[in-house]
A = this chain, B = another copy of it.
Amino acid sequence: MTELDQLRKRIEEITIEMLSLLKTRIEIAEEIGKIKNQQGMSVSNESREDELRELVKKRCQEINFDSNTALKFLNFLLNESVKVQSSESNTHLAIFLKAKELEQQGKKIIHLEVGEPDFQPPASVKQSLTEVYDKGFGKYGPSKGLPEFRAKLVEFANRKFDAKINLENIMVVPGARFGVFLAITTLLDPSDEIIVIEPAWPAYRQCAINAGIKVRSVKTTLENKWEPKIDEISSCVNGNTKMIVLNYPNNPTGKILPKILQKQIVDLAEEHDLYILSDEIYSNYSNDEWNSILSYEYKKAIVTQSFSKSHSMTGYRIGYLISNEKIVEKLAKLQALCLTNVSEPIQYTAMKSLNDDVTNNVKIMNERLTKLGDICNEMKLEFTRPDGAMYVFVRTKNSKNTSQLCEELLDHGLAIAPGIGFGDYNEFFRISACQSVKTLIEGMDILKTRLQM
């Protein structure tokens, strides 16, 4: 027998041995399931799984074995179904799609549920769409985006976000949502953990769940003006924590973090070697306090940006992502695998509109938010005035379950977003200021009538 044959034989033996153990393990797990069933206990048990995880990690140290591989293996054993398709029945997107369906049936709906400004995209967009065919932008290209577009984005980011980035730090994505998906899916492994500060845009959690990643949420409150405490965040960090998600100006609350707290979070991330995924798509709609995470030059930061809100190009699906070269390289690989590249005519259009003056959009949005806040005050709804973004996130004393309220409101021609979609905020709902003041007033009148019933 050659050495190779001997080693192969040994592999076979170990495999068979593991198989017997697997069989026994499954049988015991079934037994436990039965007992739990008899005692009326829930079958899944997160704290038990955490204990087992800790045990495995400890054992890995003792036997000097890579804990990543071990935890992946454990994950396989726990059979955590990687493909949990989270139901989106209560998100703003679900309400939006229902509203669209009702409209197709002829019903009139006021859309205060969706973060879609009613502004036209800049006039340059129309112009560039007209010329893109003859210019020949419509071919396969690098997955990171058109080089000339990326160069312009670098210049823009360095000027606007106090960043110091180069071409290799930037990639074009089909909307910031795809950037979030790429970052979470590519950088994290199943059984890793991610910290999300809630209330939050639901996609962070959904992308994590889709990739078999565990979400730890930090719940902020209206009473604390939606500000997380650094201790609340740090107490969520454990050996499996790999990423913290920030989104300021925040959707849905409009909160902007004080700079001191932002710095503390960056320090915490650095200390524990965590990625910071900072979704900054509302930066354009913010007061002077706003500061990009890019200003810290933190090597594990990933910033997502978009033309959707600033340029009112929601349905064009175009944004970009900024990070260090190695991270961009990784993310671009998955983008190449599933998309080849972002639509070139759309890239060209966004490139041409990048430096357009969109301050008037900001001015109008501010006026609307002020008006919306005034109406909410009149209606005795509880909220804090937003520091930025395009929403108010309000609590009503008249409904313990705003999901039901939102469904009912649809019947009365108003779409707003239930709080549960942003975390466990059942008494809250989000109102978007993306419509004219006239429409806002009309919508809020419907809400007033329903809440008084």
- Is the CB–CB distance between A63 and B344 below 8 Å? no
Q: Which residues of chain A from 190 to 246 have a CB within 8 Å of any chain B CB?
A: 190, 203, 206-207, 210
Q: Mark A318-354, 1 if CB is under 8 A from B, else 0.
A: 1000000000001001101111111111100100000
Does A76 lie within 8 Å of B74, measured CB to CB? no
Q: Check A48 against B133 for contact (C-beta < 8 Å).
A: no
Complex Cα spacing A316 to B349, Å: 12
CB-defined interface of A114-128 with B at 8 Å, one 1/0 digit per residue?
101000110001100
Asked if residues A15 and B77 are in contact (CB atoms below 8 Å), the reply is: yes
User: Which chain A residues numbered 332 to 389 have a C-beta less than 8 Å away from chain B?
Assistant: 333-334, 336-346, 349
Evaluate whether A178 and B339 lie within 8 angstroms (CB atoms) in the complex, with A82-B190, A140-B314 already known. yes
Residues of B within 8 A of A137 (CB): 315
What per-residue 1/0 map shows which CB atoms of A33-61 lie under 8 Å from chain B? 00110000000000010001001100110
Cβ-neighbour of A316 out of B138, B147, B337 (below 8 A): B138
Within 8 A of B (CB), among A1-55: 3-4, 7-8, 10-12, 14-26, 28-29, 31-32, 35-36, 48, 52, 55
A110 within 8 A of B: no
Q: Does A70 have its Cβ within 8 Å of any Cβ on chain B?
A: yes
Please give the count of copies of this chain that the complex contains: 2
For residues 71 through 97 of chain A, which have their beta carbon under 8 Å from a beta carbon of chain B?
Answer: 72-74, 76-77, 80, 82-83, 85, 88, 93, 96-97
A175 interface hit (Cβ, 8 Å): yes
Please measure, in the bound complex, the distance between the C-alpha atom of A76 and the C-alpha atom of B55, giving whole angstroms: 21
The reply to whether B317 and A35 form a contact with Cβ atoms under 8 Å apart is no
Give the dominant DSSP class at A's interface.
helix
Whether a CB of chain B sits under 8 angstroms from the CB of A161 is: no
Q: Which residue of B lies closest to A334 (CB)?
A: B210
Q: Which of A132-158 contact B (CB under 8 A)?
A: 132-134, 137-142, 147
Docked pose: A36 CA to B18 CA in angstroms: 25
| Interchain CB contact under 8 A, A142 and B97 | yes
Inter-chain contacts of A4 with B (CB < 8 A): 32, 35-36
Residue of B26, B130, B190, B315 near A130 (CB, 8 A) is B130
B138 x A313 contact (CB < 8 A): yes
Q: A296 an interface residue at 8 Å Cβ cutoff?
A: no
Please state if A104 and B147 are interface contacts (CB–CB under 8 Å).
yes
Contact residue among B28, B69, B125 (Cβ-Cβ distance under 8 Å from A7): B28
- Given the complex, which residues of B lie within 8 Å of A11, measured CB to CB? 25, 28-29, 32, 52
Which single member of B21, B100, B125, B317 contacts A142 (CB below 8 Å)? B100
A189 near B: Cβ within 8 Å?
Answer: yes
Asked whether B88 lies within 8 Å of A336 as measured between CB atoms, the reply is yes
A412 to chain B, nearest CB (A): 22
Q: Could you say which residues of chain B place their CB within 8 Å of the CB of A82?
A: 72, 189-190
CB-defined contacts of A69 to chain B, threshold 8 Å? 22, 26, 80
The CB with the most chain B CB atoms within 10 A, among A126, A174, A317, is that of: A317
**Is A177's beta carbon under 8 Å from chain B?**
yes
Residues of B within 8 A of A139 (CB): 116, 314-315
Interface presence of A451 (CB below 8 A): no
Cβ distance A317 to chain B, nearest Cβ, rounded Å? 4
CB of A143 to closest CB in B, whole Å: 8
A298 near B: Cβ within 8 Å? no
For the complex, is A441 an interface residue (Cβ under 8 Å from B)? no
Say whether A129 faces chain B, with CB atoms less than 8 Å apart: yes
Residues of B within 8 A of A186 (CB): 83
Select from chain B the residue with minimum beta-carbon distance to A25: B14
Q: When the two chains form the complex, which single residue of B20, B76, B141 contacts A76, counting CB atoms closer than 8 Å?
A: B76
Chain B residues near A76 (CB-CB < 8 A): 73, 76
8 new A-B pairs (CB below 8 Å) besides A15-B77, A16-B55, A139-B315? Answer: A7-B32, A11-B28, A15-B52, A97-B142, A126-B133, A174-B174, A203-B337, A343-B346
A-B contacts, 24 listed (Cβ < 8 Å): A4-B36, A7-B28, A10-B28, A14-B21, A14-B24, A15-B55, A15-B74, A18-B21, A18-B25, A21-B21, A22-B69, A23-B63, A23-B65, A85-B330, A93-B340, A116-B140, A129-B345, A139-B314, A175-B339, A177-B338, A177-B339, A207-B337, A315-B343, A346-B346
